[in-house]
Amino acid sequence: MSKKVKLETVDNVTIRFAGDSGDGMQLSGGRFTQTSAIMGNDLSTLPDFPAEIRAPAGSLAGVSSFQIHFSSQEIHTPGESPDVLVAMNPAALKVHLKDLIPGGTLIVNKNAFTTKNLKLAGYESDPTEDGSLEDYYSAHFIEMSKLVTRASEGIDLSPKLIDRTKNLCALGVLFWIYDRPLEPTIDWLNKKFKSKPDIIDANVKALHAGYNYGDTAEIFTTKYIVNKAKLPAGKYRNINGTLATCLGLLTAVEKSKLSLTFAGYPITPASNILHTLANWKRFGVKTYQAEDEMAGIGAALGASYGGSLGVTASSGPGIALKGEFLGLAVITELPLVVINVQRGGPSTGLPTKTEQSDLFQAVYGRNGEAPMPVIAASTPGDCYYTAYEACKMAVKYMTPVMMLSDGYLANGSEPWIIPNPDDLGDFDVEFVKENLTDEKYLPYKRNEKTLARGWAIPGTKGLEHRIGGIEKQDVTGDVNYDSDNHEKMVQIRAQKVANIANELPPTEVFGEKKGDLLILSWGSTHGTCKSATESLLSENLKVAHVSIRWISPLPNDLKDILSNYKKVLMPEINTGQFRQMIRAEFLVDAIGLNEVQGKPLGASTIVAKAKEIINER
């Protein structure tokens, strides 16, 4: 090494890779994530895709990005403003530059700044030429296309294919800056393109070209070291919410010895659950792409009726279509798990963006008095436990359960301690046994403790009985229109759901047990709220954070917890749906912090709002 390189240790870095949809930014981000995970950093990621599959190349609509926040400390969010922005074309620069921190590092693929691309992005003059960037950022204009073309000289691939390796060139530059090894990426390339040695060769050369550029170019003078994070001991892997959800479902059926039948209809961002499970036939998982959303939930419910565990997944518009079936599952008291990977609404809304706006739909979105348990996942890895618990309660209480996830949780990732299914406790299931007596089987006879009815599956001798959507007589299950019986059944169904609260563990309070402000969240705002709380606690403010998992029923101890704080702040990515529920339930004057921008909240916004509330007094 001829030049002098300074080494500097930092705790936290946020990098955003941005480029055209075809530029391979998700891949660069994914590889940087994997390498950082192996190096022992804590991390959190946030991919962001355009809604159009093939938006015109170079257009603003076609920009795709991937953000990674990695650290030598425990972190809970994918970060807010990036410290580093990789912009592979003018459109990516235009869309994302406003988020880059002042003085941040900007890495640009100079070769993409053609007249045509500049025009598509709406630039009047070339920002890499007019000096508009250098004053504000540490800007590096790298001729990546040229670098990879030169590096791959002699490889028998079309110029177009070689140009596509520039995402690895960008990755190589970042690996140099953050002092990360290239081997994990090379190993991965070797596996991924096993039968295409030329592709491997070109990509590896591009990766080295980027790394060597960092090494030799005079403009890079500092390498940043982000040390291992002190994470709880254990065996780790990196996981996203979709995979965690699927693993949770599989764990539930392996432990309960039930079979899993998953039926769904493709919809972003839930489809990947179907894709993942479809590959798990060897574990006895049956999957079914139905003709529509109703057929998806219908088939899942039919499977549950037959003694399998029926699961369906969708996003808001599909959940709307499933509504009538949820009512049927409530009244027939069959187990069913319905996963809503929320996205921006209403209607088609923002299909590839995240939002928490289907809470009312989940809790209330059915005709009649149709209470249904609702559980929300808080982090990508938590989707595993949430899915597992949803299955367990569905079976134990003979009820449909709605699991709420969202686009950010489904696609975002974090390091995850690989769980041991044995630690999850028992999950025993018993079907009603055959009845060889002359006594008539009573399908609506209940377990005294849970109020669940028996799971009597077709094929069992002596249990022949009829169920359906018409109100049933208590105990006998016969069709019944009597008013007193109806009211009783309405109450039983509600009590059954409420009973779940009796077996929930005490709610975890992070921070002060009594104080000025409680930050109350549900779902994926967990990480941001926790980060904000950590920061407020470090300033000795009397605050705490509680993250709600079971939204229906709410935990029994929540009322007391709420009474321990002078004020309650509820950040949500909607206009205040959970806040309305909490106000109605507990008569507390909770304050909202609501953003509906299709992206996660920022911790700094919460910190500022919390201080404002505390200082108001």
Look at phi and psi of residue 475 and say left if phi exceeds 0, alpha if psi is from -120 to 50, else beta. Answer: left
Chosen residue from 298, 380, 381, 412 binding other proteins by CB under 8 A = 298
The CB-of-467 to other proteins minimum distance in angstroms stands at 6
The CA-based angle 376-71-595, given to 5 degrees, is 40
How many C-beta atoms surround the C-beta of residue 247 within 10 A? 22
Residues 130-149 that bind other proteins (CB under 8 A): none
The total of other beta-carbon atoms located within 10 Å of residue 135's CB is 7
CB of 480 to other proteins, least distance (A): 11
Distance from the Cα of residue 472 to its chain's centroid: 39
First to last CA, the chain: 60
**Two structure tokens written together for 80:** 């807010």
Contact between residue 109 and residue 88 where contact means Cβ atoms under 8 Å apart: yes
486 near other proteins, rule: CB under 8 A: no
182 binds other proteins (CB under 8 A): no
Apex 314 CA angle, 250 and 582, nearest 5? 95
Which C-beta is closer to other proteins: that of 424 or that of 498? 424
User: Which of 22, 50, 266, 421 lies at the binding interface for other proteins (CB under 8 A)?
Assistant: 421
Q: Site for other proteins (CB under 8 A): which residue of 463, 551, 588, 603?
A: 463
Among 116, 466, 514, 559, binds other proteins (CB under 8 A): 466
Measure the CA angle with vertex 350, ends 346 and 351; round to 5°: 105
Among 50, 266, 306, 553, binds other proteins (CB under 8 A): 306
In the region spanning residues 487 to 546, those forming contacts with other proteins, defined by CB under 8 A, are: none
Residue 463: CB minimum distance to other proteins, A? 7
Considering CB under 8 A, how many residues would be counted as binding other proteins?
A: 71
Report the DSSP pairing between strands 286-289 and 510-511: unpaired
Work out which of 52, 292, 487, 612 binds other proteins, going by CB under 8 A.
Answer: 292
Q: Which stretch binds other proteins (CB under 8 A): 77-85, 265-273, 305-313, 583-591?
A: 305-313
User: Can residue 200 be called a binding residue for other proteins (CB under 8 A)?
Assistant: no
- Choose the binding region for other proteins from 59-67, 124-132, 287-295, 564-572 (rule: CB under 8 A): 287-295
Q: Rule CB under 8 A: is residue 295 a binding residue for other proteins?
A: yes
Residue 225 binds to other proteins (criterion: CB under 8 A): no
User: From the CB of 103, what's the least distance to other proteins, in Å?
Assistant: 33
Among 52, 130, 464, 612, binds other proteins (CB under 8 A): 464
| Per-residue binding letters, 15-44, with other proteins (x by CB under 8 A) | -------------------x--xx-x----
* Nearest distance in Å: CB 177, other proteins: 22
Separation CA 482–CA 328 (nearest Å): 19
In the structure encoding, which two tokens stand for residue 56, read together? Answer: 């015109």
Segment 325-384, which members bind other proteins (CB under 8 A)? 325, 327-328, 332
- The answer to whether 106 touches 140, Cβ cutoff 8 Å, is yes
Binding segment (CB under 8 A) for other proteins, from list 281-289, 345-353, 522-530, 581-589 = 281-289
Q: Which listed residue (110, 237, 486, 611) binds other proteins by CB under 8 A?
A: 237
368 Cβ contact partners less than 8 Å away, ≥ 6 residues apart: 327
Where do the DSSP E strands lie in 243-361?
260-264, 286-289, 309-314, 336-342
Query: 68 by DSSP, 3-state: which?
Result: strand
**Which CB sits closer to other proteins, 130 or 464?**
464
CA geometry: angle 89, 272, 552, nearest 5 deg: 115
Figure out which of the listed residues 4, 54, 257, 461 binds other proteins, where binding follows CB under 8 A.
Answer: 461
Query: Is there a contact between 105 and 83 (Cβ–Cβ < 8 Å)?
Result: yes
Cα–Cα distance measured from residue 46 to residue 78, given in angstroms and rounded to the nearest whole number? 6
- Nearest CA to 372 out of 338, 409, 411 is that of 338
Q: What are phi and psi of 341, to 5 degrees?
A: -90, 95
Residues 245-264 that bind other proteins (CB under 8 A): 247, 250-251, 254, 259, 261, 263
Note whether 62 and 55 are within 8 A (CB): yes
Q: Which stretch binds other proteins (CB under 8 A): 105-113, 125-133, 197-205, 307-315?
A: 307-315
Question: Which member of 424, 467, 501, 504 binds other proteins (CB under 8 A)?
Answer: 467
Secondary structure of residue 283 in the 3-state scheme = helix
CB of 474 to other proteins, least distance (A): 16
Burial of 504 (0-12, 13-18, 19+ CB in 10 A): middle
Q: Rounded to a whole number, what is the largest CA-CA distance in the chain?
A: 93
Between 208 and 472, whose beta carbon lies closer to other proteins? 472
Q: Is 73 in the site for other proteins (CB under 8 A)?
A: no
Residue recorded with tokens 């006895």: 284
Instruction: State which of residues 103, 232, 425, 505 lies at the interface with other proteins (CB under 8 A).
Output: 232
> Of residues 25, 299, 374, 489, which one binds other proteins by CB under 8 A?
299
Is residue 475 part of the contact set for other proteins (CB under 8 A)?
no
